Structure 1
Amino acid sequence: MTVNKNFNAITNCSPINQTVRTSSFSNFVQIVQWLTVIADLLSVFGCALILYIIIYKIQRKSPTFFLIANLASTFLIFSCTSLESQVATLLLYDYQYKKPDLIILTVHCCLSRSLLALCYTTSMVLLLITCYERYRAIIYPTKTNLSRKRRRRTFIIAWLVSAIITSPQLFLITVHPFYPYYCELRSDYKLFYSFYYPFLAITCYFIPDLILICCYVRLIVRLNSIVQVVGSLSIPPAGQYEKRKRQVIKMLTATTLASTLLSVLWAIVLFLLGYCEGNVYMTFNSFPHFVVFYTMAQLFYGMTPLANVILWFHYNDELNHQMNQLFQSMVKICTLPTENRVAPVLVQSSLVTRSSNNNDPFTPLHEL
C-alpha cells in the first residue's frame, strides 16, 4: 500500500490514469522496437553487402581490408543477434495473461546479451588492431609484414580476449519474472557488477578510444613532418605535396573524429540503456522526457554498426588511393639525380622499400 502511494505521488496520477499511461507507454515501446528491427535489418543488409564487395569485388586486398571484413562480419553477427532479441521481446507482449517458460527466457537472455557484448568488444579490439597496423605502415614501413597466417592468428586472439572479458555476462543476466518480461541484471550480483561494469567501461570503451585518438594524432604529426621534408625540395614536382598532404591529413582526421565519436556515443548509449533497463517502466512513467532518449538510443543502437563499417570501408579505400599517390610522388623525387635532391636517402628509407612481388623497387610495402 505504501509503495502504491509513493508511486502515485511520483507519477502524480490516479491508479486508473497510471494504468492508461503504462499501457500507452507499452504501445510506444513496441513502436520503437519495430523501428529498431528495421534499423537492424538495414544494418544486416549493409554489413553483408560490404562483406560481398570486399570478398568478391576488390581485386587487391590489403591487410586492412581483411580487418574491415572481419569488423563487418562481427557487426553482422551483432545485428542479427539484436534483431532476434527485438523480435523475441515483441513476441513476449502477447504473454500478458499467460506465463511463458522462464527457464527458456533466462537462457535466451544470457546467450543473446553475452553474444552482443562479445561482438561489440571484439569490434573495439579489431578497431585497435586496424589502427595499430596503419600506425606501423606509416611509422615503420620496412618492419610491416602482416602475413595471412598472422592475420588469422590476430583475428582468433581478438575473439578469445573478448570472450574472456565478456564471459561474466553469462551469469549476470536473468529475466524479469512478471509481465512485462524483459532481460535484467541479477539482484544477487549487485556487488560484483558494481565493479565489473566500470571495469568493462574503462577497458573496452574509453581506453580503446583514447588509444585510437593518440595513434591517429601521432600518424598525422609524423606524416606532416615527413612530407614537409620532401615539400621543402626546390623542384617542380614538390608543389604537388601540399594538396595531397592536406587531403591525406584531412581524411585521417575525419576517420579519427568520426570513428571515435561513434564509439564513445555508442558506449554511452549502451550503458545508459543497461542502467535504465531494470526500472524502465517506473523511470519512463515518472519522467516522460526520457521517452525521447529511449527512442533515439534504440535507433542509434541499431544503426551504429552499419555506420561504423561504412565509415571504415569508405575512408580506407579513399585513404589508400591518396596515400599511394602521395608515396608515388615522393618516390619520383627520391629517384631524381643526386644534384637535384636535398635529402633523398632520409625520405626514401623512411617511407618506401623494395617489394618482392613487384618490379617497381619503390612500391610501398604495406597498403593502409
Structure 2
Amino acid sequence: MTGPARSTTRATLWWLRLGLVAGSVLVLATALVTLLQARASITEVRERTAPAVLEVSLAKEALVAAHGAAVAAFEHGQARLTGPSEQYEDQIARASQQLAQVAEHNAAGEPGSQTLRLIEGLLPAYNSFIGQADAHFRQDAGGPLAASNLQSASDLLTAGENGILARLDTLAAAERAALDEQLATAWLDPAITLLWAMPLLALLGGLWWTQRFLARTFRRAVNPALLAATAVLVLLGAATAFLLGVQSAARDSGTALERTVDTVSATTAAGAGQAQRTLAQVLVAQCGGAGPTACGDTVTAFAAAAPAAQTVPAAASAGVGEAVLLGPGLTAPGWTGVLGWGIPVLAVGAGLLVVAGLQPRLDEYRFRETRGGSRS
C-alpha cells in the first residue's frame, strides 16, 4: 500500500512541477507579447500617424495664411512694391515643408500618397497664378488680367471638390481614419490586453494549491521557494499592469490631438472665408466696377459665394500640436524599456523558483522509495 501511495505523490509532484513551469512560460509569453505589441502600436501612432494628422492641418493653415497675405497685399496696393508679400512667401514655404513631412509620415497608404501627389502638383500652378497676378498688377496698376489671375488662383485653392483645400480635407480624413483605427487596436484596449492576467492568476492559484498540498503531505507550513515565486509573479503582474495606464493615456492623447486639429481647422476655415471676402472686394476694384454686378457674372457669383463673417476661434499653434505629440500618452516611458527585460527575468525567475521548491520534495520521495525497495 505504501509503494503505490508514494508513487502517486511523486507523480503529483512531477506534474505540479511541469504545470507550474509551463504556466510560467505562458505568463512570460502573454505578458511580453502584450508589452511589445502595445509599445509597437504607440510607436506607430507617435512616429507616423499622429504627426501626419497634425501636419496636414498645418499645411492647410499655411496655405490659407499665404492666400490671405497675398490678397491683402493686392487690396492695399503693397503688391506694386513687394509683390504678394514676404509673409506669402514664408507661408508657401511652410506649406511645402509640411507637405513634405506628410509624405514622410503618411499613414493613409497609397490613396493618401496619390492625393498628396495631386496637391503637390497643384501648388506650383496656384503659385504661378499669384505670380502672374503680381506681374499684371505691376504693369497695369491693376486691371482685368490681374483680377482674372487672382480669381483663378482662388478657384484652384478653394474649389469645392477638386481644389487644393478640398483635397487636403480628403487627405486629412484619411489620416484621421488611420489614427482612429490604430488607437482602436486591440493592443491599446485595456479590456483586451487584460487577457495576459488570466494565465497569471491561474498560475498564482496553482502555486497556492501546491503550497497546501505540500503542507498536507510533508507537514511543512510554507515552501520558501514557492513563496518567493508567488512574490515574483505578483511583482510581474503589478509591473505589467502599468501598461493599462499607458494604453489609456495614448488614447487620451489621440483624442487631444484631434481636438487640436479641429481647432486649427476651424481657424483655417474662418481665415479662408475672410480671404474670399477680401478678394471679392479686390476683384471689384480691379475691374473698375462700382459693384460686383458691374464686373460680370463671374465676379458677381464669386462675391455672392463669399461666406459671411464669423468669429475666428483662438488658433492652435504648431507648438501646441507638438506638445500633444510629445506628451506622456504618446511617449513611451523609460520604464517600458525596463519591462522589456524585466518581464523575462521575473517569469524565468518564477519558473526556476518553482523547480527549486519542488525538486527537493521529488528527491526526497525518490530517496524514500529507494530505501523502501532496498528493505524489501
Shared fold (TM-score, shorter chain, > 0.5): no
Larger radius of gyration: 2
Structure 1 or 2: larger helix share? 2
TM-score bracket for this pair, using the shorter chain length: 0.3 to 0.5
Which structure has the higher relative contact order (CA within 8 Å, separation 6+)? Answer: 2
Normalising by structure 1, we get a TM-score of: 0.42
